[in-house]
Structure 1
Amino acid sequence: MVLKDNIKNRIAEVAVQKGELFCQLCEEKDCVHIGFVFSLPDVYEVLNSRGIRPQK
């Protein structure tokens, strides 16, 4: 998923790597971009059906 971060004025790409979401901008598995992706209901349903869950 490709997101525009208006605060950093950058493009953030969030991808699935090894069964987890990974933000290529922050180089992290848990950041605001990943949180935003999980907040989208349609995307959350697809990720949840594939066994990808938010980190706790």
Structure 2
Amino acid sequence: MVKRGGKEVVTVEIFKETYDVMKANAEKKRWNTKDYINMVLMEVIERDRFLQSYAPSLSKIGYEHNILFIRDAKKSKTAEIYLRDRALYCNVCDSKDCVHIHYALALPETAKLFLRKPIRK
């Protein structure tokens, strides 16, 4: 194993298309590509740790047809989170502001719910 800057370094494979996006993002922010990739990975790890401590009974099941599915082990139910009247909506709580919505807001899949063509006037 190699050491750089006093830290152990591990070589991993990254798909070229992913690397190209990460490199372009790093360049836009004037970051070193390696440092940017490591920062993004650490943010994902920190987000996952936070979600596990914030809502240990919740977990993402998947995303399909503009619906985000979140398993709630405490209620033994699956929440369907979707866009309704330009806001996120939870079918389990019949709400726009609940723990399932808060959990969903931390997931990258939630952004896909908002990816729609702009409304023309």
Tell me what 1:2 maps to: 69
User: Cα offset for 1:28?
Assistant: 0.4
Q: Which structure 2 residue ranges, 5 or more long, are not aligned?
A: 1-67, 117-121
User: Within 2, Cα distance between the matches of 1:44 and 1:22?
Assistant: 11
Distance in 2, Cα, partners of 1:48 & 1:16? 7
Q: TM (normalized to structure 1)?
A: 0.72
Matched, 1:20 2:78: no
Gaps of 5+ in 1: 51-56
In the alignment of these two chains, the number of paired residues is: 49
Q: Which has the larger radius of gyration?
A: 2
Q: Could you tell me the TM-score, scaled by structure 2's length? A: 0.36
RMSD: 1.8
Identity within the alignment, %: 33
Deviation, 1:39, is 1.2
- Relative contact order, CA 8 A, sep 6+: which one is greater? 1
